[in-house]
Structure 1
Amino acid sequence: MKWRSVFISSLVSVTLLGCNNKGLESEIDRVEALKKDLEKEIQAQEKVEEERMEAYQEMERPLDEILENIDKEDMRVLESKEIKDLILEKETFTSEVEFSKAVAFATYNFFSMKWNPEEYYEFLSKQSTTYYKENVLDNKKQALQVFGNVQGILKEQKGLIPVDYEVTEVVLDKNGNSGYFYRKDTLAKGDEAFYIISIVKEGDSWKFESESPSAPYEKIDDNVKEEKEEESPENTDAPKETEEDVENEHGEE
């Protein structure tokens, strides 16, 4: 950079002004060494500044652009999200499918203001892992205050309140003792919000472990897949030409 050359040249000139002929040669060597050290230091500073600017530019990228570059997981959405049981009264869930519906129903009801903080706390206190109870729900008063603050923010930003949701199938680990699924909320302002929810088996019962925002998933549409298979040449209903038909054609010729 231009300012770097000017700075180093000025430093060399000022240093040599105080030298006589006898010590000039040794002083030049010393200044040259100093010059090289300064150049290295300035180059290092420029590199740090360049990396810092790149980091800032990366942080300024819109969230939608970042999410577009994330590989989307293919997920099947449950055809029915209806809950048969009164989940606030149910103590345990042994089916991961029913439990995923219950958790999605509870979390959606909380964020959509259909449940108050007390109801949400009651559900979590029954259906969460031991770790979650001991580390998040141990102080009920504090937990209710946090839940209330969350709903307070949503009330101020009404466009963020969900008006509908869908839930995907559960993906289990190879042992079948833990899994995850997604919930997609349709917000009042028309946007969509995605969450990934982890569940763990404690004994014979499934328990809520965590929920956090996630990248969108790719919805698997089995109907579209079936239509494509039906339209493929291999699956056409047109009658195939038999050897007898071929012989008849040659006979007519």
Structure 2
Amino acid sequence: MDEPVLLTGASGRVGSAILGGIADEYDWRLLDQEPPTGDTPGEYVVADVTNEAALRNAMKDVRAVIHLAGDPRPEAPWNSVLENNIDGTKKVFDIAAQTGVEKVVFASSNHAVGAYETEDRTPDMYRDNHEYRLDGSELPRPSNLYGVSKAAGETLGRYYHDHYDLSVACVRIGNLTKGHPPIDYERGQAMWLSYRDCAHLFDRCIKADYDYEIVYGISDNDRKYYSLERAKDVLGYDPRDNSAEFDGEKKAQTE
């Protein structure tokens, strides 16, 4: 892809993981409300996604957008998720449709489906011998208002695909951590996403052909309650990491 890829929320944790793995793969245009603290690949735009004029200018000649920007706090209040996560995401899709962008990759979240983790399922569903899986075909069940905003973003993506022919991938990101997963936290291990697999997954979202997809963003963990089959089959996702690889480190700490 010769045209620029716009990455919103570029200086956040997910953006850092993506750029740390595939910075050399694309001509990047980076957008964040905070100025960069070091060298960055490509052009850097300091702006907020709620600023329609700045967003439109940043999207000029872009063919793909990875949309990460928004209020990332699970406890974020409604006024913030409405302005930053819902209205901001609507602006991204709207301008993408108007300016000829072909593909939008939307960073959704495990919080969009957090209420599936009911008392009768946990903690068994976090263990490697449990067969319960969410596969992306289920309806959202948000666990907080932040999750509501992510479910709204997925629905906006569906609308803009159906009515404006945008290719849209919604990635329900799990527990992204740099280095090893949380060793003593079963849920964190089940939804762990390594930086390496994160970069690879978003790379596949840019390169693959699809219409509208909801996929889960986790590594290929032995413990999992998110299915990776859709991401593998449609996107060609080939994760290399597994939280179970760190069981030896946990054992060493307890001996």
User: TM above 0.5, one fold?
Assistant: no
TM-score band w.r.t. shorter chain: under 0.3
Query: Normalising by the residue count of structure 2, what TM-score does the alignment of the two structures yield?
Result: 0.24
User: Where is the helix percentage greater, Structure 1 or Structure 2?
Assistant: 1
Query: Normalising by the residue count of structure 1, what TM-score does the alignment of the two structures yield?
Result: 0.25
Answer with 1 or 2: which has the greater Rg.
1
